[in-house]
Amino acid sequence: MSDDSFKNTGFSDPELRAAVAVAMAGVAPTAMTLDIEAPKHWPLAREMGWLTAYLPEAQGGLGLGLAFIADLGEQVGRHLFSGPLLETALFLPVLSETLPKADALAPLLEQIAQGQLRLGFSEDFGQPETGFVTEHLGSATHMLQLLSGSRESALRVYAVDQAQVAMVQPMDPTASVGRLRPAAPLFEVRLPNAQLAPLHLALHIATAADLLGAGEEALVRALEHVKTRRQFGQPIGGFQVVKHRLADVRSALDVARLALARAVQAPQLQAVDSGRMARVLAAEAALAATAAAVQLHGGLGFSWEMDLHLWLKRVRRLNARSGGTAALRHATGERIIRAALEVSGI
Amino acid sequence: MSAATRLEAGARGPAFLRADSDAGFRAGLKSWLATELPALAGARGPAEANSIAFRLAWESHCCRVGLSGLGWPLEEGGHALSLARQAIYHEECARAGTPLPVNMIGHGIVAPTLLAFGDAAQKARFLPRILDNSEVWCQGYSEPGAGSDLAALRLSARRDGEEYVLNGQKIWTSFADLSQWCLLLARTDASATRHAGISVLLVDMSLQGVTCRPIRQITGEADFNEVFFDNVRVPASARLGPENGGWRLAMAAANFERSTYFVPRVVRMQAELEALIRLAAERRQADGCAMLEVPGIRAAITDLGLKTHAMRLMAEDILTEAERGQTSGVSSSTLKLLWSENHQRLFDVAMEVLGPEAALGPQEVSGAAQGRWARDYLWTRAETILAGTSEVHRNIIAERGLGLPK
């Protein structure tokens, strides 16, 4: 790594970031050893305080903000971290503001914050008749659902033990998926969309960061391979067709990183648009990176024990979330076109 | 430097340059452009307003009123504008539809190279005439046998007392025929290995033995030239930097080119995308459906919007690096690639949007915007070739950025 293009500079405090990276590297799975419940991951998240990282200090959290969430997300993607870590961290502030403090639900917040209860997560996609496709359902006690309407959105909490649950084979072997047909929610709150904008932005940023981390790691592995694998008397990384494909992956990741950094710092007014664009660009980069890593490993890349498929599948899962990147891309395009026509008064 | 000089330097140009706020700067610039551009353009349509003659006239007008050297230090006669204000400047010029400059090599490449490497005499001789645009510059890099492999260049500069004697040929030299000066790469040591024997010379294009031959391009225009040097004698004082140390300067100049030179173009692309969206909203298919509603066109425009956003962020990042004095080797390659390939794509989409009108040639004034879309569609073929082909930049990213073997 000889030049300045590696802008892997992260988003928040370097020491915090390094601590996250070291801790996660210590429990990173491989394809041959992985256990979908990742028994070491959740205790680590609790011990490190990551679950309450985004919760403001006034509400008992660490108040570390979106820059730290971006760093945490990147390491989550790089090291194939399992479990609803980012979702829990991001939903805690809104749950803390809206969950009733006095009735039977009162202990819920504390238990989620401490990691005693685990959340499954679904946005408003999937067919209700076949059940909501829910990530991390395997060990979830509660399911969180965010239903977006045109003016307001509903946030619901269901008890998994009161719902019909059918676990399914997940695309990503590091994240359980199930179909859930819920009974009545334990809790529901309707909020104007403007009030949920910070949550949407945070979800975009966390997902983009997870994608970016997965893409960066796929590129690292592809580079290691093409520098050492020799064919026709030379490392295959010396062939221009290989170099150019990886140069394009590098550029796409650089762009995604800049877009993510912008979303983290963006003023509130444009923040959700900025986050959405970062997520689309990160998905594009991560899809390209993981596909290149598999391809450039040749037959090895297609083998289960090579691990590369874990990032490919993770990226596919994250790309599908929230109705898929295609829907986010569409929303971005509509905004760009509307803005251009408004400027010219058409 | 005396306080009086500082004041004089700071006082050059319209008052908005010294506005208290960025918003005041933008408003002042906008109203200046709204008055000055129509006044100078008169009844010219898009074709004439983008002609070389008008491009040069507008550029010189701006420079004469003091709108040049925006980012240069005050002591060199510049305005030392912040990056934010320079970006606003390019943004508002693009929105107002100002024509592209002609002396891009002078302002974008020669000036920063002189500021970084020139001696006092060279700065005093050349910088004021770039500031007022009275001297146009070209850049003598490529040769028939040295294109992507620039270090293979052969044009020889043989030392003869206090002079160099130049013999050889350059090619693809933009605007050589209307330039007074050339920033030239020449071989001063024939025995040295490729990169080691090269020097940078500042050559007066009116010297005896210099011949330009314009090359007709696929646009029908002739901006590029072959330039022949036949026993041209230049003084040794025309050398920029050390003898045989030119490669480092050339690479630094290339970085200026890809950062300070491409950033305005990146900013311009936002305005060009907005123009494409308007074009697509206005033009209809035979069934009456606006081209903007055609799914493939809409998807392509969305992608261009995302890439324009990305490019803008990268340009800001490079400028921030430049302001901190860091060189931006690999990221400037990334920006050049992103810009040139997406700019080309923008005009590919425009050709689709034009439908049957895309069969009209670039000088056909009955075409959309008097043929400008067709002309720029053809012109953007050059952008992935000039200033390092896309292939060369991908190699730079792979080799210097990713450490892959040469």
- Give me chain B's average pLDDT, please: 92
Nearest to B401 among A227, A250, A261 (CB): A250
What integer pLDDT is reported at residue A3 of this predicted model? 36
Closest by CA to B200, choosing from B177, B181, B225, is B181
Q: What is the pLDDT of residues B362-403, one digit of tens each?
A: 999 999 999 999 999 999 999 999 988 999 999 999 999 999
pLDDT in tens, A72-129: 999 999 999 999 999 999 999 999 998 888 777 888 889 999 999 999 888 765 566 7
pLDDT at B154 over 90: yes
pLDDT in tens, B94-128: 889 999 999 999 998 999 999 999 999 999 999 99
For residue A326, list chain B residues with Cβ-Cβ distance below 8 A: none
Lowest mean pLDDT among A61-65, A77-81, A197-201, B382-386: A197-201
Structure tokens at B112: 């920063």
One-letter amino acid for residue B1 of the chain: M
Give the separation between CA B167 and CA B9, rounded to whole angstroms.
Answer: 41
pLDDT of residue A126: 58
Of B4, B202, B23, nearest to B109 by C-alpha is B202
Q: How many CB atoms lie within 10 A of CB A253?
A: 27
3-state SS track over B158-227: EEECCEEEEEEEEEEEECHHHCCEEEEEEECCCCCCHHHHEEEEEEECCCCCEEEEEECCCCCCCCEEEE
What is the distance between the alpha carbons of residues A257 and B361, in angstroms, rounded to a whole number?
41
Residue B257 is encoded by which pair of tokens?
A: 């080119």
Confidence band, pLDDT 50/70/90 cuts, at residue A345: low
**Lowest-confidence region among A26-35, B247-256, B358-367, B391-400:** B247-256
pLDDT digits (tens, 9 = 90+) for B184-205: 999 999 888 788 999 999 999 9
- Residue closest to B265 by CA, chosen among B383, B163, B183, B169: B383
- Please check whether residue A220 touches B, CB under 8 A: no
Contact list in B for residue A275 (CB cut-off 8 A) is none
Whether B338 contacts chain A with CB within 8 A? yes
**How many Å separate Cα A96 from the centre of its chain?**
22
> What domains, with CATH codes, occur in chain B?
3-101 (1.10.540.10), 137-245 (2.40.110.10), 259-401 (1.20.140.10)
**pLDDT, greater one: A218 or A183:** A218
- State phi, psi for B159 to the nearest 5 degrees: -75, 130
**Does residue A44 contact residue A76 with C-beta atoms inside 8 Å?**
no
Cα A335 → chain centroid: 24
Interface test with B, best of A5, A240, A242, A325 (most B CBs within 10 A): A5
The residue type at A232: F
Please tell me the distance in Å from B121's CA to the nearest CA on chain A: 34
**How far does the CA of residue B304 sit from the closest CA of chain A (Å)?**
9
* Residue for token pair 């996250």: A20
CB pairs < 8 Å spanning A and B: 134
Two tokens, residue A307: 């691990």
Would you state the pLDDT for residue B205? 98
Given CB atoms, is A46 within the 8 Å cutoff of chain B? no
Question: How many other C-beta atoms lie within 10 A of the C-beta of residue A52?
Answer: 24
Say if B290 is an interface residue toward chain A (CB within 8 Å): no
Residue A190: which H helix or E strand, with range? Answer: strand A187-192
Per-residue model confidence (pLDDT) at position B3 = 41
CA distance B263 to A123: 40
Name residue A40's beta-bridge partners: none
pLDDT tier for residue B7 given thresholds of 50, 70 and 90: very low
Question: In the block, which residue shows the tokens 């630094």?
Answer: B252
Closest CA to A66 of A258, A256, A198: A198
Q: In percent, how much of chain B has pLDDT > 90?
A: 80
Report the distance separating Cα A45 and Cα A41, nearest Å: 6
For the record, the structure tokens of A252 come out as 């796409």
Query: Rounded to an integer, what distance in angstroms lies between the CA atom of residue B194 and that of residue B322?
Result: 29
Best residue of B272, B309, B336, B395 to probe chain A, by most A CBs closer than 10 Å: B309
* Selection from A261, A210, A190 nearest residue A89 by Cα: A210
Is the minimum CB–CB distance between B330 and chain A shorter than 8 Å?
yes
Residue B81 at interface with chain A, using a CB cutoff of 8 Å = no
The Cα of B270 is separated from the nearest Cα of chain A by a number of Å equal to 9
Question: Whole-prediction pTM value?
Answer: 0.91
Residue tagged active-site, from B76, B257, B272, B383? B257
Nearest CA to CA, how far is B401 from chain A (Å)? 5
- Minimal CA separation from A269 to chain B, in Å: 16
Residue among B292, B391, B404 whose CB faces A337 most closely: B292
Confidence category of residue B328, pLDDT binned at 50, 70, 90: low
Is B91 annotated in the active site? no
Q: Check A337 against B298: CB less than 8 A apart.
A: yes
Instruction: State whether residue A259 sits within 8 Å of chain B by CB.
Output: yes
A8 vs B333, higher pLDDT: B333
- Whether residue A281 contacts residue A249, with contact meaning beta carbons closer than 8 Å, is answered with no
- What pLDDT is recorded for position A146? 85
The CB-side HSE value for A112 (13 A sphere, CA atoms) comes to 30
Task: Name the closest residue on chain B to residue A248, using Cα atoms.
Answer: B394
In chain A, which residues have their Cβ closer than 8 Å to the Cβ of B303? 329
Interface contact B213, partner A, CB < 8 A:
no
Residue B5 scores a pLDDT above 50:
no
Q: What percent of chain A has pLDDT over 70?
A: 95
